[in-house]
Amino acid sequence: MKFAITPCPNDTFSYFHLISGELPSDFEFVFEDIETLNMAAESGKFPVTKLSFAAYMNLRDKYELLDAGAALGIGTGPVLITRKDCLFDASSPVAVPGLNTTAAMLLKSYAGTGIKMEAMFFRDIVEAVASGRFSSGVLIHEGRFVFEDFGLALAADLGKWWTEKTGLPVPLGCICVRRDFSHLKKDLEGLMCKSIAAAFASPDKCMPYVREKAQYLAEDILQKHIWAFVNEYSLDISPFREKLLKNLEI
């Protein structure tokens, strides 16, 4: 069974014990960036897949949300950045890591639905803003922790803004099962919980593989990324799932 995730630290850390085979499963792991996975899900390409929460909201006819495996930030998430000599201009196009991402959804909620967005590969956004191609952009993954090193400034922490507005953690990514495999939901959640728990128990064991797949290799950046988005919510979102989804519909 193909299980599609991103190569980013929170995913490789969470599922290392399944990827390595230390926890036996029938998974064949596939690695793609999040917007590629969002778009692939429109045709139901992968039986089990990581999705942006925003994309899942439009794909509920094809996929069922799992209660395990979600990446939720506790008052942290995508950041809106500009060059240090610029103020955020809502009339200018903003570089975003995909129009189907939670990052794009948060930007629209923050700046208004009329905001102009241009999608690009998430790893290219820092350079696009630093070079002046765009006056602002939204960063996800490790990029949100290193933008100041590239002469960029924070215009808004969209994750913090969401939590202050809703009182909820930031719904970034989730794991979903295609509905023709939904009878496996509990088994899949059990395997993912075991893998995440094993990673929590022996984090150093996961790190060589995490570094192999990561965009930025600095140990402190990897650690910040993992602990920002792999947390208690990664094991079970059921207590507040409905409230979270209701807020996403607004």
CB 54 within 8 A of CB 105: yes
Pairing of strands 94-96, 117-119: parallel
Say whether 175 sits in a helix, a strand or coil: strand
Spatial neighbors of 130 by CB under 8 A, at least 6 apart, are: 83, 150, 151, 152
Residue of 17, 141, 183, 225 marked active site:
141
Q: Has 225 been annotated as catalytic?
A: no
Say whether 153 sits in a helix, a strand or coil: strand
CB 173 within 8 A of CB 71: yes
Residue 148: how many other CB atoms lie within 10 Å: 11
CB 69 within 8 A of CB 229: no
Q: Please tell me the distance from the alpha carbon of residue 68 to that of residue 176, in angstroms, as a whole number.
A: 9
Say whether 111 sits in a helix, a strand or coil: helix
Active site residues per annotation = 141
